[in-house]
Structure 1
Amino acid sequence: MTSSSSLSLDHARFNMIEQQIRPWDVLDPVVLALLDRVRRDQFVPDGYQALAYVDMELPLGSPAVDGEVMLAPRVEARLLQDLAIKPTDKVLEIGTGSGYQAALLASLAQRVVSLEINETLAAAARTRLQQAGIGNAEVRVADAAASGFAACATEAPWDAILLSGSVAEVPAALLSLLAPGGRLAAVVGQEPMMRATFITRTGDASFVTAQPWDTIAPRLRNFPEPSRFSF
């Protein structure tokens, strides 16, 4: 990459933070510094570097692999901020995609395990994380929702769980994998109305839910959908 291209991407990253991220109430200085340090252009698919900092979803693959995309930067940043990752946290991500969100999580947490259903995307994400020098994020190929979330349970309980995509509802089996005080973040609902949803485990069977903002995100694959039949 030429120096002029690097300068152009640096300028685009600055504009992303100032014109997209801050106006979306992402004001945590640690998160803002992280967004400047972890280069999103190193995680986008080949040919999309010029669009890495644009306020849009980017397809993963050409054409998009199974319709999977990178979420818009402001959505990724707000989820990261509101999940409030601690340095001691063991984090589960479902839906690795490009690996960018795993890189952000790993920069704040003790350890990240990220599950990706598509083997091609998982391999590419592993390579990008390695090239970025991220050593505490592990990408595994798995259908997270299969067999009652068995692949998610191997190292439970989790201090934080992030669903990098939308679901109709958060399954109780997934909430049961949270540690006491653990938090889960997901985009929940049906188009055109979805809410960013944050659930905190406050006791053995007690949970507190907040839905502070609206957004839209593509579906995570194979999560249960409620019946649409009515009588």
Structure 2
Amino acid sequence: MYVHKEEMMRKHLRQRGITDRAVLNAMWEVDRSLFVPDDLKDQTYNDSALPIGMNQTISQPFIVAYMAQALRLSPEEVVLEVGTGCGYNAAVLSRIVSHVYSVEVIEWLVRVAAVNLNKAGIQNVSTRLGDGYLGWPEAAPFDAIVLTAAPPVIPEPLMYQLKIGGRLLAPVGTNLQRLFMLVRVKENYFDQRELIPVKFVPMTGEAQRRH
């Protein structure tokens, strides 16, 4: 069923609790069709994850908006994204914050994301090929970190790339996944709480080797 962008905004975002004005503006500004494969363009604004190849997906609009809202982002902040994918989530975040650093472990997706972000005219996203478990130490510390793939547990290197007061949002688990928010309260003290059940592709690489 074809869904118009206006319907997505009303039915799948506002009516489901997305109220942050910056998030809603970003979801409106970013053209999701630029990040969706050609044969799925008619499903661009459906509230569902869509396959982009090699068992990878573009996240459903509600989850992208929900995660951005949960992070309570500010315009001056710098964010690390672990799992660039096709670039859509980074594109949305880029409309809210100062800069997004995004790490992707799959080489062809790094190229796909670069093309998509360029088509969308987005210039405040830096991407690179690498294992997201290790983060992006040279650009740390970050105001916020968001994972778009699920590790068995939150990677410790990422926790220590947060500023004091920084937030990390991650889907965690294997078969049953939960979205967790972790806040770095002090140098070696973190507060953690569970938000909602989610379903993401598993985080690969070091995250799997460690557990």
Could you tell me the TM-score, scaled by structure 1's length?
0.85
SS of alignment partner, residue 84 of structure 2: coil
The reply to whether residue 154 of structure 1 matches residue 138 of structure 2 is yes
Instruction: Give 2:100's aligned residue.
Output: 112
Instruction: Give 2:4's aligned residue.
Output: 12
Instruction: Give 2:13's aligned residue.
Output: 21
Instruction: Give 1:186's aligned residue.
Output: 170
The reply to whether residue 53 of structure 1 matches residue 36 of structure 2 is no
The CA deviation at 1:104 is: 0.9
SS of alignment partner, residue 112 of structure 1: strand
- Code of the residue aligned with 2:68 in structure 1: it is L
Rounded to whole Å, the distance in 2 between the matches of 1:219 and 1:24 is: 26
Q: Which runs of 4+ in 1 moved over 6 A?
A: none
Q: Residues 26 and 93 of structure 2 are in contact (CA less than 8 Å); yes or no, is this contact kept in structure 1?
A: no
Q: Residues 126 and 138 of structure 1 are in contact (CA less than 8 Å); yes or no, is this contact kept in structure 2?
A: no
Rounded to whole Å, the distance in 1 between the matches of 2:9 and 2:149 is: 22
The C-alpha deviation readout for 1:131-173, integer Å capped at 9, x for no partner, is: 211111011111222xxx1x52121111111101212110222
**C-alpha RMSD of matched pairs (Å):** 1.9
Instruction: Give 1:177's aligned residue.
Output: 161
- Find 1:96's aligned residue among 77, 81, 84: 84
Q: Among all aligned residue pairs of Structure 1 and Structure 2, give the percentage whose two residues are the same amino acid.
A: 30
Rounded to whole Å, the distance in 1 between the matches of 2:14 and 2:84 is: 25
Rounded to whole Å, the distance in 1 between the matches of 2:25 and 2:139 is: 30
Instruction: Give 1:133's aligned residue.
Output: 121
- Code of the residue aligned with 1:214 in structure 2: it is P
- Find 1:206's aligned residue among 177, 189, 201: 189
The reply to whether residue 31 of structure 1 matches residue 14 of structure 2 is no
How many residues align? The count is 210
Q: Residues 183 and 199 of structure 1 are in contact (CA less than 8 Å); yes or no, is this contact kept in structure 2?
A: yes
- Find 1:70's aligned residue among 58, 77, 83: 58
- Find 2:151's aligned residue among 167, 176, 195: 167
Q: Residues 174 and 202 of structure 2 are in contact (CA less than 8 Å); yes or no, is this contact kept in structure 1?
A: no
Unmatched runs of 5 consecutive residues or more in structure 1: 1-8
SS of alignment partner, residue 76 of structure 2: coil
The structure number with the bigger radius of gyration is 1
The CA deviation at 1:226 is: 7.2
Instruction: Give 2:178's aligned residue.
Output: 195
SS of alignment partner, residue 48 of structure 1: helix
Rounded to whole Å, the distance in 2 between the matches of 1:32 and 1:216 is: 22
The C-alpha deviation readout for 1:110-138, integer Å capped at 9, x for no partner, is: 11111111221111211111121111101
Unmatched runs of 5 consecutive residues or more in structure 2: none
SS of alignment partner, residue 139 of structure 1: strand
